[in-house]
Amino acid sequence: MTRLPPTESASSSRPQRRPEWLRVPLRESSAHHELRQLMRSARLHTVCEEAHCPNIGECWGRHRTATFLILGDICTRACRFCNVRSGRPAPPDPDEPRRVAEAVQTLGLRHAVVTSVTRDDLPDGGAAHFAEVVRQIRSLSPECTVEVLIPDFQGDLRALRVVMDARPDVLNHNVETVPHLFPRVQPRNRYEWSLAILEHARRMDPSVLTKSGLMVGLGETVEEVLAVMADLRRVGVDVLTIGQYLQPTRHHLPIARYYTPDEFEEFRRRGLEMGFRWVESGPLVRSSFHAGEQMARLDFHRRDAESAETDIQSHA
């Protein structure tokens, strides 16, 4: 059994070379080009491209999946790990939900992931737009499950309620890092807002799976990561993703440390021991990595649990 070093954080010298397990060959297939053309013709954005995701070749080429980025491609925050542009965004496009739903239908997706830039300029943070995307997907592709990866809405539970009332199958919100690194990594975010969103999503609709994600390699200690994992379980999070932070450009935060595949496996083991229903942990794991596979497995188990509960009630 691999043991995580109990108090290790960033080494004093910055890592110089990317390890072999983080070297991803660029694969562009016909499906990759087809999906890119679809997004361009529909005037849609994906976080896969905007965030320079290392798994784009696998997701687009092998699985024909993409994470839709709604509410434009300009964020009102400037987190120091993220490659999405920041600035003053345009008003929301009221036709965007329809175009997303049509793209989901064209791709024949069984599971759609929808995220957004953070829109602090909007009174509801974009919650109504999220809800309309969910409804439009439901209308055109009723068999498709929908995962929304939402911002923190500055802790506004009324905005969260708008999204939850649309009944997504998965409510995802990433805490990203440990509390003491928030001022350095995402200075306009608050750890308390993130926990509140996840906790109240569970309370508003216990049938919706909740999910969160962490990056490691920014200077956190292993103990801090485990403490965040414990916090996420305390508020009822079902699914956890953990991946290696990779510096998008020289203007972003440097990598403090590379974690090994064995260490990621140990995080997975610890998470399952804590009670998470699913832990996706690995160097290249990102929030929506294998999201469809997760949903297929977890939705199956959820249906089993709901059927069992119905049987119990009918015989009570």
pLDDT 10s digits, 288-302: 766 667 767 776 555
Answer yes or no: is pLDDT of 117 > 80. yes
> Hey, what amino acid is at 200?
H
> Does residue 3 belong to any structural domain of this protein?
no
End-to-end CA distance of the chain: 45
What's the pLDDT band for 24 if we cut at 50, 70, 90? low
> Does residue 285 belong to any structural domain of this protein?
yes
Contact present, 243 and 284 (Cβ < 8 Å): yes
> Hey, what amino acid is at 289?
F
Whole-prediction pTM value? Answer: 0.82
The residue ranking higher by pLDDT, 37 or 76, is 76
| Helices (H) then strands (E): counts for the chain | 11, 10
Note the Cα 134 to chain centre separation in Å: 16
> Does residue 17 belong to any structural domain of this protein?
no
What one-character DSSP code corresponds to residue 74?
E
User: Residues 226-235: contacts with CB within 8 Å, 24+ apart?
Assistant: 226/4, 226/270, 227/178, 228/175, 228/178, 228/179, 229/267, 229/270, 229/271, 229/274, 229/276, 230/274, 231/195, 232/175, 232/195, 232/198, 232/276, 233/274, 233/275, 233/276, 235/195, 235/198, 235/199, 235/202
Question: What is the average per-residue pLDDT within 143-164?
Answer: 96
> In this structure, are strands 74-75 and 111-116 parallel, antiparallel, or unpaired?
unpaired
The residue ranking higher by pLDDT, 134 or 308, is 134
> In this structure, are strands 67-70 and 45-46 parallel, antiparallel, or unpaired?
antiparallel
> Does residue 7 belong to any structural domain of this protein?
no
> In this structure, are strands 278-281 and 239-244 parallel, antiparallel, or unpaired?
parallel
Q: What is the pLDDT of residues 255-280, one digit of tens each?
A: 999 999 999 999 999 999 999 999 99
pLDDT of res. 125 = 98
pLDDT of res. 108 = 84
pLDDT of res. 51 = 47
Q: What is the pLDDT of residues 201-212, one digit of tens each?
A: 999 999 999 999
Q: What is the pLDDT of residues 62-114, one digit of tens each?
A: 555 568 999 998 999 999 988 888 999 999 999 999 999 998 998 888 889 99
Per the structure, the count of domains in the chain is 1
> Does residue 97 belong to any structural domain of this protein?
yes
> Does residue 195 belong to any structural domain of this protein?
yes
Q: What is the CATH number of the domain that holds 123?
A: 3.20.20
Residue 167 neighbours by CB under 8 Å, 6+ apart: 134, 205, 208
Residue 117 neighbours by CB under 8 Å, 6+ apart: 69, 71, 72, 73, 74, 75, 76, 84, 89, 151
Q: Which domain holds residue 134?
A: 24-314
pLDDT of res. 22 = 76
> Does residue 18 belong to any structural domain of this protein?
no
The residue ranking higher by pLDDT, 45 or 274, is 274
> Does residue 1 belong to any structural domain of this protein?
no
Instruction: Assign 211 to helix, strand or coil.
Output: strand
Closest CA to 77 of 49, 124, 118: 118
Instruction: Assign 226 to helix, strand or coil.
Output: helix
**Percent of the chain clearing pLDDT 70 (strictly above):** 73
Give phi and psi for 234, each to the nearest 5.
-60, -35
pLDDT of res. 37 = 67
Q: Is 141 left (phi over 0), alpha (psi -120 to 50) or beta?
A: beta
Q: What is the pLDDT of residues 161-192, one digit of tens each?
A: 999 999 999 999 999 999 999 999 999 999 99
Residue 250 neighbours by CB under 8 Å, 6+ apart: none
Answer yes or no: is pLDDT of 303 > 70. no
Closest CA to 200 of 146, 144, 155, 135: 155
pLDDT of res. 186 = 95
Residue 13 neighbours by CB under 8 Å, 6+ apart: none
Answer yes or no: is pLDDT of 29 > 60. no
List of E strands, 79-227? 85-86, 111-116, 145-149, 170-172, 209-216
What's the pLDDT band for 133 if we cut at 50, 70, 90? very high
